[in-house]
Structure 1
């Protein structure tokens, strides 16, 4: 089920456009302004290798993203990354995972045709029998709409604006990270507590 969304804070090559180039796919994804939804009882599941390349996707992932399994397997998970996602969220995600920790994050994704869909992602390291990290596993659920509209979307707009207002991507990312740290610290909680408390 899809719905036209009002909020558009896309930036990038051109407003609402992102270039997708990978070993199997080469296309330009243009934001349609339509949002996709999945049932609150469904879970989107994916697994990746240590580099973030997809090794498994479930049927819900395929249906909501509109990709086929052969199009996705072996591709970087960032293939579905929406242009409205602040880079600092992925920096934080990778930092947690590389430290062997789980993380919860709200993520906006692109479907193949340019529709978007929001998820509350729970990402964990996958371990072998010896306790070594061999990849990552993500379960994604439907986020609560009021949390998205009242907290996450305004926060992500603010972080993205900081990132995009700097001539240096590195400086933009540093300032965005500093702002996120300030916001979380003002609540006197950790990032995990902040996400789970909203």
Structure 2
């Protein structure tokens, strides 16, 4: 599957209020399980999803700094809640409120990650969109992706400090 050729169409797909996207990855972020809701919303067949890196559904409008925060948090053995805009294989986008947790083996070593995603409240999307747009604009000001991520991460930190909140607290302040 050539995801780099998928262009956003501007068509938004929404999860039903009672739907839940579930996926599991290995420790490197390669998808090992995706439920039928994931496949339907992402417009992909299970065989096209399993074995792919989880960023196969990354929307170009999502700031990489948010994903860096997400991966740093779960790699440290902590759970995270985050609002994420994803890109389906047909170019549609879909917003989710994600809850991602590490999975452990019997010796306590992280062996993968488990993610549940549900439909976010529209007010929450309206609240995170301008923040994400500012982060993305900061990333795009830099020629090197690593410099953009570093600058965007710093901007996110400054934004949170000025609000007097940690990221996990901020997420819940925009959640009605």
Which residue is equivalent to 1:3?
none
Higher strand share: 1
Inter-partner Cα distance in structure 2 for 1:173 and 1:85: 12
Runs of 4+ in structure 1 off by over 4 angstroms are none
- Given candidates 84, 106, 121, the residue that maps to 2:83 is 106
1:80-159 equivalences in 2 (<5 Å): 80-149=57-126, 151-159=127-135
How far did residue 40 of structure 1 move? Answer: 1.3
More helix by share: 2
RMSD: 1.0
Say how many residue pairs are matched: 173
Structure 2 equivalent of residue 11 of structure 1: none
1:192 aligns with 2:153: no
Give the gaps of 5 or more residues in structure 1: 1-24
Q: Which runs of 5+ in 2 are unaligned?
A: none
TM-score between the two structures when normalised by the length of structure 2: 0.95
- Offset at residue 144 of structure 1 (A): 0.8
> Where does residue 157 of structure 2 map in the other structure?
181
By how many angstroms is 1:26 displaced? 2.3
Which one scores higher on RCO, CA 8 angstroms, separation ≥ 6?
2
Q: TM-score, normalised on structure 1? A: 0.85
* Distance across 1 between alignment mates of 2:65 and 2:135: 8
